[in-house]
Amino acid sequence: MSSKALFSRSLAADPERLHFAAHSHHLWPDASYDGQVECWTDAAQLADRKWDRIMGEVWPEAQHHVARELGTDDPDSIVFSSNTHDFLVRLFSARSRPAPLRVLTSDGEFHSARRQFARWEEAGEIAVERVPAAPFDDFAERFLDRARAGGHDLIMVSQVLFGSGRLFDRVADLAALAAPDGPWVVIDGYHAFMAVEAPFDAVSASSAFYLGGGYKYAMAGEGLGFLHAPPGFGARPTITGWYAEFEDLRLPPGSVGYAKDARRFLGATFDPSGLYRFNAVRRMLDDNALTTVRISAHVAALQAQLLDALRGAVAEAELLNPVDGGAHARFLAFRDPRAQDWYAKLKTQNCITDVRGDVLRIGFGIYQDEADVDRLIDLLRRLG
Lowest model confidence (mean pLDDT) among 29-38, 199-208, 244-253, 335-344: 244-253
Lowest model confidence (mean pLDDT) among 8-12, 119-123, 240-244, 338-342: 240-244
Q: Domains in the chain and their CATH numbers?
A: 4-29+290-381 (3.90.1150.10), 32-284 (3.40.640.10)
DSSP assignment, residue 58? I
Percent of the chain at pLDDT above 90? 91
pLDDT at 361: 97
Q: How many other C-beta atoms are found inside a 10 Å radius of the C-beta of residue 51?
A: 15
Q: How far apart are CA 125 and CA 93, in angstroms?
A: 11
Task: Please say if the pLDDT value at position 249 is more than 70.
Answer: no
pLDDT in tens, 69-113: 999 989 999 999 999 999 999 999 999 778 899 999 999 999 989
Four-CA torsion 29, 31, 36, 40, nearest 10 degrees: 160
pLDDT in tens, 296-352: 999 999 999 999 999 989 999 999 999 988 889 999 999 999 999 999 999 999 999
Confidence of residue 122 (pLDDT cuts 50, 70, 90): very high
pLDDT in tens, 2-43: 799 999 999 999 999 999 999 999 999 999 999 999 999 999
Q: In sequence order, which residues have a C-beta less than 8 Å from that of residue 348 and are 6 or more positions away?
A: none
Q: How far apart are CA 178 and CA 188, in angstroms?
A: 15
Of 264, 59, 90, 120, nearest to 186 by C-alpha is 90
The mean predicted confidence, pLDDT, of the chain is 95
Confidence of residue 250 (pLDDT cuts 50, 70, 90): low
Give the length of the chain. Answer: 384
DSSP assignment, residue 90? H
pLDDT at 247: 59
Of 160, 112, 101, nearest to 136 by C-alpha is 160
Q: How far apart are CA 194 and CA 191, in angstroms?
A: 8
Contact 362, 315 (CB under 8 A): no
pTM, rounded to two decimals: 0.96
DSSP assignment, residue 329? -
Is 384 strand, coil or helix? coil
Report how far apart the first and last C-alpha atoms of the chain are (Å, whole number).
Answer: 33
- The torsion angles phi and psi of 166, rounded to 5 degrees, stand at -80, 150
Task: Please say if the pLDDT value at position 248 is more than 60.
Answer: no
Task: Please say if the pLDDT value at position 65 is more than 70.
Answer: yes
Task: Please say if the pLDDT value at position 262 is more than 80.
Answer: yes
Percent of the chain at pLDDT above 70? 98
Helices (H) and strands (E) in the chain, counts: 14, 13
